[in-house]
């Protein structure tokens, strides 16, 4: 009994921190429409600043107050005015990706400033414990965490309910455009929301480091941990309700501490020791999945859905077929002769890049063509790679056969997500795919029998493509085949149907298009191509390793695919190759090593704010400008040109 009470108190204490953090996340989502996946890294950054202040000799209480009340709000206001306000009105995929960029950026800053070491943060609360009536003993720090977290959330609630600012706030949360018309200063409100949210993130980081990690501040673990539990809690209220998000946080905290405390007993009863542990770790993602699958219909279909589909117009008309064929032929031609010119290491580097291109192509057909978002493609890649590995290693299949069959193994998983995508739209679908990637990793890829543990599952390169050069040509062939597939998907009837689905599913149904079937097929196909990418990626080191399929990479892939140009095959090819050769390129400039994350983060956030069509759109714009200039000069030479209203 005492143990139970103690566990519950611990659960409520930790849960109220999750709750607080979830409130902060939902607050900015509702005021500015940005779901901040960088929330965890904001918590990390601010907690590191807190640690630095204490390391400089500031008393811990003053340091915390300074960070929470001054520094964090300033960071929040800065982010709002410099970044998030610029991407207001962009499709949500852009804003989600900007926050992934923010995540990477802050991670890079922390690495640069503090070297990526784990530090010990001094305790805010005295390390004593109280004995409650009934003999239950609780740590002062637990109570302290509980009081501070509940106090912060309580003051937010009171502010929203009773103050004049609170009324404007609620108006903006309910309907931002209308609130703007009502002469409410929405800029002020969104700035305030970001200030509060970042302040809550700081509080979350400091309290969690205290309450769960015993003062240890781990720059890798903390942000992922935070965002996992915060998303889990926020999805409890479907990103719509602050009180429900708060309750969700509490529930997650309690469930987590019960599972930790009673794990041995649970294992005694039902066995499956490893599974109980994994479910404990995967708790937030299981919550997200279940909550989304049982979401009320109105939320699933309308809710956040429509606005998340990529709404950007493809501003440029496609170039003439002849031009496109020529460009493609030149690009692939150059790629084909590279191994004859350069060193072996370069051809492997380029092959790595082309494999990324294949993965990005799978995202182009999914997101660019049909408007579905997946943040969880690493799951498909992993399923395919491990399947191929086991086929080759355990069953002795030739890698020529294991490769396509392994990729096929990812298709059912993709089709399943596609089936769910019929009922779940937009941001909710994106979150579900993210949760799917995490669950695939935590529940399956951590299983030794599946992933082969640290060493991975051996996956040899196919006979005849074993050498660096041979493998290079295999990759090139697959890249060309996937590009052709993507192009014919786009130009034919299927492409028209996908584009139509992107615009209006209801209209598709009304003319007899079975939307479900197409979603299942496009997700299945995308999973297959991603799976091929996963298999090829594993063949580089001749082993399928779980480290290659971390969910975080899935976020980076989407970011890069969008940066390259999510609507275009050419964008995927260009950004894949650039991403592949990037590490080797910066080896030439050692000082870049430290700031590469910062560059990537800054680049992605700022570039997207400027041009959602990505790098490829930019290139083509330049190409078009050059072309029209040439045409105009020619025209002027032959005859005085008639003025024909600007054109495109």
- Residues in touch with other proteins (CB under 8 A): 313-314, 485, 488-489, 492-494, 496-497, 499-500, 502-504, 506-518, 521
Residue 625, judged by CB atoms within 10 A of its CB (0-12, 13-18, 19+), counts as exposed
From the CB of 410, what's the least distance to other proteins, in Å? Answer: 17
From the CB of 302, what's the least distance to other proteins, in Å? Answer: 11
**Other beta carbons within 10 Å of 140:** 14
Of 354 and 508, nearer to other proteins (C-beta) is 508
Of 79 and 309, nearer to other proteins (C-beta) is 309
From the CB of 429, what's the least distance to other proteins, in Å? Answer: 20
**Other beta carbons within 10 Å of 583:** 12
Of 134 and 296, nearer to other proteins (C-beta) is 296
Residue with tokens 């996963």: 534
Of 86 and 423, nearer to other proteins (C-beta) is 423
Q: How many CA atoms lie within 13 A of 95 on its CB side?
A: 25
Of 136 and 499, nearer to other proteins (C-beta) is 499
From the CB of 300, what's the least distance to other proteins, in Å? Answer: 15
**Other beta carbons within 10 Å of 233:** 31
Of 67 and 520, nearer to other proteins (C-beta) is 520
Of 9 and 562, nearer to other proteins (C-beta) is 562
From the CB of 315, what's the least distance to other proteins, in Å? Answer: 11
Residue 456 neighbours by CB under 8 Å, 6+ apart: 389, 538, 543, 544, 545, 546
From the CB of 361, what's the least distance to other proteins, in Å? Answer: 14
Of 279 and 499, nearer to other proteins (C-beta) is 499
From the CB of 88, what's the least distance to other proteins, in Å? Answer: 21
Instruction: Provide the β-strand partners of residue 457.
Output: 544
From the CB of 576, what's the least distance to other proteins, in Å? Answer: 22
Residues in the chain: 648
Residue 228 neighbours by CB under 8 Å, 6+ apart: 284, 285, 438
Contact, 431 vs 235, CB < 8 A? yes
**Other beta carbons within 10 Å of 159:** 15
Rounded Cα gap, residues 121 and 63, in angstroms = 11
Distance set, CA 134 to CA 3, 6, 9, 131, 141 (Å): 12, 11, 14, 8, 20
From the CB of 495, what's the least distance to other proteins, in Å? Answer: 9
Structure tokens at 71: 């520094």
Q: For 125, which DSSP code?
A: S
Of 312 and 611, nearer to other proteins (C-beta) is 312
Query: Which SS3 state, helix, strand or coil, does residue 131 take?
Result: strand
Nearest 5°: the CA angle 243, 374, 476 is 160
DSSP 265-325: HHHHHH--HHHHHHHHHTHHHHHHHHHHHT--HHIIIIITHHHHS------SPPPPHHHHH
From the CB of 507, what's the least distance to other proteins, in Å? Answer: 4
Of 288 and 486, nearer to other proteins (C-beta) is 486
């Amino acid at each position: 009994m005492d143990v139970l009470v103690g566990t519950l108190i611990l659960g409520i204490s930790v849960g109220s921190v999750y709750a607080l953090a979830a409130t902060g996340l939902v607050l900015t989502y509702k005021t500015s429409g940005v779901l901040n996946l960088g929330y965890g890294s904001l918590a990390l950054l601010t907690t590191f600043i807190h640690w630095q202040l204490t390391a400089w000799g500031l008393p811990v209480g003053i340091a915390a107050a300074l960070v929470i009340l001054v520094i964090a709000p300033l960071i929040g206001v800065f982010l709002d005015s410099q970044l998030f306000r610029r991407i207001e009105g962009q499709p949500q995929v852009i804003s989600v990706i900007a926050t992934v960029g923010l995540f990477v950026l802050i991670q890079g800053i922390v690495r640069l400033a503090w070297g990526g070491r784990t530090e010990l943060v001094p305790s805010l609360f005295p390390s004593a414990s109280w004995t409650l009536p009934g003999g239950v003993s609780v740590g002062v720090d637990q109570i302290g965490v509980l009081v501070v977290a509940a106090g912060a959330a309580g003051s937010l609630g009171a502010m929203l309910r009773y103050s004049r600012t609170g009324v404007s706030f609620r108006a903006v949360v309910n309907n931002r455009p209308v609130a703007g018309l009502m002469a409410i200063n929405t800029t002020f409100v969104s700035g305030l929301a970001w200030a509060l949210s970042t302040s809550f993130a700081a509080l979350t980081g400091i309290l969690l480091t205290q309450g769960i990690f015993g003062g240890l501040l781990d720059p890798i673990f903390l942000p992922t941990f935070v965002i996992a539990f915060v998303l889990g809690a926020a999805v409890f209220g479907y990103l719509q309700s602050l009180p429900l998000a708060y309750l969700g946080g509490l529930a997650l905290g309690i469930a987590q501490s019960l599972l930790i405390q009673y794990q041995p007993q649970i294992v005694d009863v039902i066995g499956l020791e490893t599974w109980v542990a994994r479910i404990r770790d995967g708790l937030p993602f299981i919550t997200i999945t279940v909550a989304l699958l049982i979401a009320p219909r109105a939320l699933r279909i309308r809710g956040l859905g429509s606005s998340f589909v990529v709404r950007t117009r493809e501003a440029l008309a496609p170039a003439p077929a002849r031009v496109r064929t020529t460009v493609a032929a030149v690009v692939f031609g150059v790629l084909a002769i590279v191994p004859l010119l350069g060193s072996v290491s370069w051809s492997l580097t380029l092959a790595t890049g082309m494999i990324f291109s294949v993965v990005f192509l799978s995202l182009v057909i999914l997101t660019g063509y049909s408007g579905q978002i997946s943040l969880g493609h690493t799951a498909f890649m992993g399923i395919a790679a491990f399947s191929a590995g086991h086929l080759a290693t355990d069953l002795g299949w030739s890698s020529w056969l294991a490769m396509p069959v392994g990729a096929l193994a990812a298709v059912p998983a993709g089709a399943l997500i596609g089936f769910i995508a019929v009922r779940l739209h937009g941001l909710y679908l994106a979150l579900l795919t993210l949760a799917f990637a995490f669950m695939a990793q935590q529940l399956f890829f951590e299983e030794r029998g599946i992933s082969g543990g640290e060493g991975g599952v051996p996956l040899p390169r196919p006979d005849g493509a074993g050498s660096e050069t041979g493998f290079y040509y295999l990759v090139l062939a697959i890249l060309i085949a996937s590009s052709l597939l993507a192009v014919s998907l786009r130009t034919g009837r299927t492409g028209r149907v996908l584009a139509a689905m992107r615009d209006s599913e209801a209209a598709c149904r009304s003319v007899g298009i079975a939307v479900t079937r197409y979603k299942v097929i496009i997700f299945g196909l995308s999973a297959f191509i991603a799976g091929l990418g996963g298999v090829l990626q594993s063949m580089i080191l001749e082993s399928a390793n779980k480290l290659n399929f971390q969910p975080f990479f899935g976020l980076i892939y989407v970011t890069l695919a969008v940066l390259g140009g999510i609507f275009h095959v050419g964008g995927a090819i260009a950004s894949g190759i650039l991403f592949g050769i990037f590490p080797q390129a910066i080896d030439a400039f050692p000082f870049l090593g430290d700031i590469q994350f910062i560059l990537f983060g800054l680049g992605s956030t700022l570039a997207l704010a400027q041009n959602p069509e990505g790098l490829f759109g930019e290139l083509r714009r330049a190409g078009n400008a050059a072309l029209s200039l040439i045409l105009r000069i020619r025209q002027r030479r032959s005859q005085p040109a008639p003025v024909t209203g600007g054109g495109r």
